[in-house]
C-alpha cells in the first residue's frame, strides 16, 4: 500500500535505523529555517491542532507492521513540519507503544512549543527527545530560524532546562551552524553556558551537508565546526549522520539482500514518501529502505519523468527530493 504518514526507515547516526511518522502531512511549522531540508514552510504557525488524526497515523503504522518489514531501531515523530503542533501527539505516542511495546519512541522538535507546560508533560511519554537550538542571540535566531513572531530563544532554553528536570529519557541536542548566520563568538559563549546547565545526554554540532531552503545558507568551515564541537563537548562526527561519507552510504551493499524480493510493488511509494521528507542519495535510499540500488534508480527515473523529482548536487553527491502534489 502507499503511505501518507509512515515513511522510511532512514538511517540516523544519532538514533539508528528510524521509521518516521509525519504528524502534519504538509509543511506546517513554527519556524521557516534557512537550512530546512524539506523546503520552505507552507504554513508558519505556533497553533496546535489535529492536523492529522492519531487514528489515521496509527492505522497506517499497524498496516506497516502487518506487512512484515524488518523492524526499525526506533520510531520517530517528525516529517514535514513540527510534530509537537499536532494536538493528538500523546495518543500517537501511546498507540506506537501499544503496537511496538519494546520500541523506543523519539521526537524531533525545534523546541518552540516546549514553553507550554502541557507540551512538556506530553513529551515525558517519549523515550528520546531531540531538540534543536541554533542560537541564543535573538537577532541570529530570527535570521536563521525565521520563527513565528514573538518566539524567544531564551524562553525556549529555559523551557528545555525545566523539561530536563522532569524527563527520565534521553535528550539529544542539535546545533546546526550556517556560515554568517549563527557562528559568532557571542553565540558560542551563550551556548556553552546553556549546554552546561541543560546537561543533555548528547550534543551534536553539525553544519549543512544537504541542500537547504536558501542557496545562500552555506556550511561553516571545518576549523569553525571543530572549535564549536570542542567547546560544547559535542559527539564525534563518526557517530552522526553529518555528511555524505557517513551513515547510509556505507551500507549500500544491502542491495544484495534476498528478502527485498517482495518489495517491488511498494518501492515507488516508499521511495517517494521518504524523499518528500528528507533529501537523500540513491545509495542512502537503498541502504535505509533495503531496496536494491538498481530498483531505486528505476524509481528515480520514473519520478523524474513525472516532473516531481528535484535533483541537487552537494560536493560530489547527488541528492534527490520529491515535490508535494500540486507543486511545480
Q: What is the pLDDT of residues 278-287, one digit of tens each?
A: 777 888 778 7
Residue in the structure block whose three cell numbers are 535510499: 285
Q: What confidence tens digit (pLDDT) does each residue in 254-304 have?
A: 222 223 333 454 677 777 777 777 777 888 778 777 678 888 887 888 777
User: Do strands 202-207 and 309-314 pair parallel, antiparallel, or not at all (unpaired)?
Assistant: unpaired
pLDDT for residue 246: 31
Q: What confidence tens digit (pLDDT) does each residue in 33-62 have?
A: 999 878 889 999 999 999 999 999 999 999
Angle (CA) 311 317 323, round 5°: 25
pLDDT greater than 60 at residue 157: yes
pLDDT greater than 50 at residue 100: yes
Nearest to 99 by CA among 48, 57, 39, 151: 57
Establish how many alpha carbons lie within 13 A of residue 89's alpha carbon, considering only the half-sphere containing its beta carbon.
29
pLDDT for residue 61: 97
pTM for this prediction: 0.77
Amino acid at each position: 500500500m502507499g503511505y501518507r504518514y509512515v515513511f522510511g526507515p532512514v538511517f540516523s547516526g544519532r538514533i539508528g535505523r528510524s521509521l518516521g511518522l509525519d504528524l502534519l502531512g504538509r509543511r506546517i511549522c513554527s519556524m521557516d529555517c534557512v537550512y530546512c531540508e524539506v523546503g520552505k514552510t507552507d504554513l508558519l504557525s505556533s497553533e496546535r491542532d489535529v492536523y492529522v488524526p492519531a487514528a489515521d497515523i496509527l492505522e497506517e503504522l499497524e498496516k506497516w507492521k502487518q506487512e512484515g518489514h524488518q523492524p526499525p531501531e526506533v520510531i520517530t515523530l517528525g516529517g514535514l513540519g513540527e510534530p509537537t503542533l499536532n494536538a493528538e501527539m500523546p495518543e500517537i505516542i501511546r498507540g506506537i507503544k501499544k503496537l511496538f511495546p519494546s520500541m523506543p519512541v523519539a521526537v524531533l522538535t525545534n523546541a518552540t512549543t516546549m514553553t507550554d507546560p502541557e507540551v512538556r508533560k506530553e513529551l515525558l511519554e517519549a523515550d528520546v527527545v531531540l531538540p534543536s537550538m541554533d542560537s541564543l542571540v535573538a537577532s541570529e535566531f530570527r535570521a536563521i530560524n525565521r520563527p513565528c513572531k514573538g518566539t524567544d530563544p531564551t524562553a525556549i532554553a529555559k523551557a528545555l532546562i525545566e523539561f530536563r528536570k522532569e524527563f527520565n529519557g534521553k535528550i539529544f541536542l542539535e546545533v546546526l551552524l550556517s556560515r554568517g548566520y549563527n557562528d559568532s563568538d557571542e553565540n558560542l559563549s551563550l551556548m556553552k553556558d546553556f549546554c552546561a546547565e541543560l546537561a543533555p545526554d548528547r550534543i551534536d554540532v553539525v553544519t549543512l551537508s544537504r541542500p537547504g531552503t536558501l542557496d545562500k545558507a552555506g556550511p561553516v568551515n571545518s576549523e569553525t565546526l571543530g572549535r564549536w564541537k570542542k567547546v560544547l563537548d559535542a559527539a564525534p562526527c563518526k557517530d552522526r549522520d553529518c555528511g555524505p561519507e557517513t551513515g547510509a552510504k556505507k551500507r549500500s551493499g544491502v542491495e544484495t539482500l534476498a528478502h527485498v524480493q517482495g518489495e517491488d510493488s511498494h518501492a515507488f511509494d516508499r521511495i517517494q514518501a521518504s524523499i518528500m521528507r528528507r533529501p537523500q542519495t540513491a545509495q542512502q535510499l537503498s541502504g535505509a529502505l533495503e531496496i536494491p540500488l538498481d530498483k531505486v534508480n528505476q524509481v528515480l527515473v520514473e519520478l523524474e519523468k513525472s516532473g516531481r523529482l528535484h535533483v541537487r548536487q552537494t560536493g560530489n553527491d547527488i541528492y534527490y527530493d520529491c515535490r508535494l502534489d500540486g507543486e511545480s
